């Protein structure tokens, strides 16, 4: 069945449906959202299940997708697909991989996610790079899934309740206990901590461990979707944690939230950083690290007090990729040390954080 992607400026890209053709999703505009692109060559199971993509239509720039099918949930970063829709150039419906359990198209249909192939993703990505990320909607067949002129914008509301856990959960064993504030945490953050011999207590985005009087040694603020300034309750919680000098580590959205809690500012990038093999440099040691990234906002380091120092910078555009406090055990990175997908060079940062506990 034929379909189209319409951007907020009226540009239309025609394609062929290979995902869901049902009217099933969240909100008044079930197939609309922010259109963003990812430059990774592989890793679509991990990317599609990454809660940081909630509210977004994902464009994969690598021309072949679906060729290795869909593996089991051990490779997923959450329990379901998080994107609002998927756009690719060429979809492979006959995967070849010994761990494949279903095709990409079957998975998308089962979870009610629309997808289009045959789109000129190079032209689409060029447009997004030149004009910045845009809102858009996917329509299948002759029925418009979006009503009126409005298109869902995930940056206009606090969307953390949609992706965060609803209860307190404990993973692993160990003498040290890390509270993971779940703003849409990827599963590999938990795996990365557990294999280092610590216990992880995952709590909702608006849970304050100080008020609940938990016995814990440090706090990790996770990745997640949307505008960090919308997470007002989480920002206030982190502000209290910093006041108590509790070891705190922020990843991606967590880095932005920590910066806001410290009195800094964040801003929206033109088209964001989404993909693998993204080079950053440790400003202190001058060491380069190849990283996995997925973010649309960045920290304005000039807005932070002199107690903070820039830790990592992006070697492509010079934007901030990490901050740390000069004297206290507070640290944050904009990239993903847990990888999944992508390079694992940044994994040592978990060891560094645990050394603070």
Nearest to 234 by CA among 255, 216, 215, 214: 255
Annotation marks residue 310 as catalytic: no
Annotation marks residue 183 as catalytic: no
Name residues whose C-beta falls within 8 Å of residue 338's C-beta, 6 or more positions apart in sequence. 186, 188, 189, 191, 192, 251, 347, 350
Tokens of 185: 């945490």
CA 131 to chain centre: 22
Nearest to 353 by CA among 198, 212, 206, 181: 198
Candidates 29, 46, 183, 252; catalytic one? 252
Contact criterion met (CB below 8 Å) for 356 and 324 = no
> CA–CA separation, 106 vs 109, rounded Å?
5
> CA–CA separation, 202 vs 302, rounded Å?
32
> CA–CA separation, 220 vs 349, rounded Å?
12
> CA–CA separation, 28 vs 43, rounded Å?
30
Annotation marks residue 252 as catalytic: yes
Cα dihedral sign, 149-154-157-163? positive
> CA–CA separation, 338 vs 315, rounded Å?
20
Question: Which residues are annotated as catalytic?
Answer: 252, 336, 338
């Amino acid at each position: 069945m034929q379909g189209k992607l319409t951007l907020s400026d009226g540009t239309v890209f025609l394609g062929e449906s290979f995902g869901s053709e049902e009217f099933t999703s969240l909100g008044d505009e079930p197939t609309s959202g922010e259109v963003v692109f990812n430059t990774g060559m592989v890793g679509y199971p991990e990317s599609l299940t990454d809660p940081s993509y909630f509210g977004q239509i994902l464009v994969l720039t690598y021309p072949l997708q679906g060729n290795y099918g869909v593996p089991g949930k051990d490779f997923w970063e959450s329990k379901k697909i998080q994107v609002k829709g998927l756009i690719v150039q060429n979809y492979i419906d006959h995967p070849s991989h010994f761990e494949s359990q279903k095709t990409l198209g079957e998975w998308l249909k089962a979870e009610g996610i629309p997808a289009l192939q045959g789109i000129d993703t190079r032209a689409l990505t060029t447009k997004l790079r030149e004009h910045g990320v845009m809102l858009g909607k996917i329509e299948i067949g002759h029925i418009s899934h979006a009503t009126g002129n409005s298109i869902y914008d995930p940056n206009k509301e606090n969307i953390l309740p949609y992706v965060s856990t609803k209860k307190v959960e404990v993973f692993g064993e160990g003498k040290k206990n890390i509270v993971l504030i779940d703003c849409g945490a990827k599963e590999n953050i938990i795996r990365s901590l557990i294999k280092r011999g610590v216990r992880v207590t995952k709590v909702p985005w608006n849970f304050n461990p100080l008020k609940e009087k938990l016995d814990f040694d440090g706090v990790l603020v996770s990745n997640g979707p949307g505008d960090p300034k919308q997470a007002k309750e989480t920002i206030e919680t982190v502000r209290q944690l910093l006041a108590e000098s509790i070891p705190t580590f922020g990843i991606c959205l967590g880095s932005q939230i920590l910066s806001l809690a410290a009195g800094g500012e964040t801003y929206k990038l033109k088209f964001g950083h989404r993909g693998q093999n993204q080079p950053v440099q440790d400003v202190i040691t001058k060491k380069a690290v190849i990283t996995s990234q997925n973010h649309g906002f960045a920290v304005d380091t000039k807005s932070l007090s002199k107690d903070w120092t820039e830790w990592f910078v992006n070697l492509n555009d010079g934007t901030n990729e990490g901050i740390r406090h000069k004297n206290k055990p507070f640290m944050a990175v904009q990239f993903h040390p847990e990888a999944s997908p992508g390079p694992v060079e940044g994994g040592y940062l978990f060891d560094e954080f645990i050394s603070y506990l």
